[in-house]
């Protein structure tokens, strides 16, 4: 396993991040435990979750599963750089959401209880909260850092100007600021190449792409594989709008004899500025295949063909649309 710094922070994280959103809603506890154990065997030390994960089966369920896995001992907690997120609504309480100081403290304390740990290594704001001033956000984070309950702060789904403002306000308080940004990024969705990746690089932040397979669109949905994940009706319906591109993509993958999902993950691993894409395997077999992608290097010719099928903005802003 390869490791990189979490942005400008000194801590090292694995080149792949284990995403846990499936734990609970679509993967039972025993299977979740097995995947986490296998991840450690592979050297994956960076686990990502969120307080809202569990969804219809109960928000917080995924964190609870992780907590019960930690209690098995064997150095599990000590081996993991643990990341979770706050922002989403956890109840009908009007203040049980957002990035207010009120909710930040409550959310962190609740996540600590669910995961049965005394600290969170990376707390991420799951979305920008336009109603809360940065002075309030950083005061709350600073207090929690001082209490040893969180170590680093990151963002998720932030615009570039949100990233800049957050870090500048943190610098005024002599704080480290944001060390990572978790954004949607794949061959299908390359918007962050315009400004978010350049801003993250400028501030020394890790970029943690989520949904590198575009929700399954890049996993071979028109192949002969009858996987339930790849063939679910909602996915097929959304794919129809992109059918020519997807079919061209799948043909390219077959021509180089590399699995569809492997091509998508290998591509994102080769992108400038990307630190650790988030994978969400439901089985040990899927996890093993994801890890194998670390040994795949796509040729310049293949990368050029992927750009033709799934064109990005072509440059960062403003060069992408102005002189």
- What CATH code is carried by the domain that includes residue 145? 3.20.20.100
Closest CA to 256 of 314, 309, 192: 309
In a domain, 90, yes or no: yes
Lowest mean per-residue pLDDT among 63-72, 129-138, 234-243, 265-274: 234-243
Residue range(s) defining the domain that contains residue 176: 3-218+261-298
pLDDT of residue 155: 98
In a domain, 317, yes or no: no
What domain count does the chain have?
1
Residue 229: pLDDT over 60: no
In a domain, 226, yes or no: no
Interatomic CA distance for residues 186 and 236, integer angstroms: 18
In a domain, 199, yes or no: yes
Can the peptide bond before residue 106 be classed as cis, meaning omega within 30 degrees of 0?
no
Residue 86: pLDDT over 70: yes
In a domain, 310, yes or no: no
Residue 227: pLDDT over 70: no
Q: Is residue 203 flagged as an active site residue?
A: no
pLDDT of residue 232: 72
In a domain, 247, yes or no: no
Band of the pLDDT at 234, cuts 50, 70, 90? confident
Lowest mean per-residue pLDDT among 175-179, 238-242, 272-276: 238-242
Residue 225: pLDDT over 70: no
Interatomic CA distance for residues 125 and 228, integer angstroms: 32
- Identify which has the larger pLDDT, 222 or 154: 154
pLDDT of residue 289: 95
In a domain, 323, yes or no: no
Q: Which of 53, 87, 152, 249 is catalytic?
A: 53
């Amino acid at each position: 396993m390869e490791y990189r710094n979490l942005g400008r922070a000194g801590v090292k994280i694995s080149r792949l991040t284990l995403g846990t959103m499936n734990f609970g809603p679509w993967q039972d506890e025993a299977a979740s435990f097995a995947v986490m154990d296998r991840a450690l065997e592979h050297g994956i030390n960076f686990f990502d979750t969120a307080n809202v994960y569990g969804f219809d089966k109960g928000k917080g369920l995924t964190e609870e599963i992780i907590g019960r896995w930690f209690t098995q001992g064997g150095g599990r907690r000590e081996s993991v750089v643990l990341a979770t997120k706050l922002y989403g609504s956890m109840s009908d309480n009007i203040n049980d959401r957002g990035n207010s100081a009120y909710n930040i403290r409550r959310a962190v304390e609740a996540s600590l209880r669910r995961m049965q740990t005394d600290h969170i290594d990376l707390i991420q704001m799951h979305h920008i909260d336009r109603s809360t001033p940065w002075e309030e956000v950083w005061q709350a984070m600073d207090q929690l850092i001082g209490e040893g309950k969180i170590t680093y702060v990151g963002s998720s789904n932030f615009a570039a100007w949100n990233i800049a403002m957050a870090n500048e306000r943190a610098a005024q308080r002599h704080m480290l600021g944001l060390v990572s940004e978790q954004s949607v990024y794949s061959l299908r969705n390359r918007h962050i190449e315009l400004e978010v990746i350049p801003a993250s690089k400028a501030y020394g932040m890790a970029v943690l792409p989520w949904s590198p397979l575009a929700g399954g669109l890049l996993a071979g949905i028109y192949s002969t594989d009858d996987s339930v994940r790849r063939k679910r009706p909602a996915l097929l319906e959304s794919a129809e709008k992109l059918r020519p591109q997807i079919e061209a993509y799948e043909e390219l993958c077959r021509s180089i004899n590399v699995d569809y999902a492997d091509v998508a993950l290998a591509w994102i691993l080769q992108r400038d500025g990307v630190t650790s894409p988030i994978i969400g395997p439901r089985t040990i077999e899927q996890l093993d295949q994801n890890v194998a992608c670390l040994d795949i290097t796509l040729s310049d010719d293949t990368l050029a063909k992927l750009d033709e099928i799934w064109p990005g903005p072509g440059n960062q802003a403003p060069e992408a649309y102005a002189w």
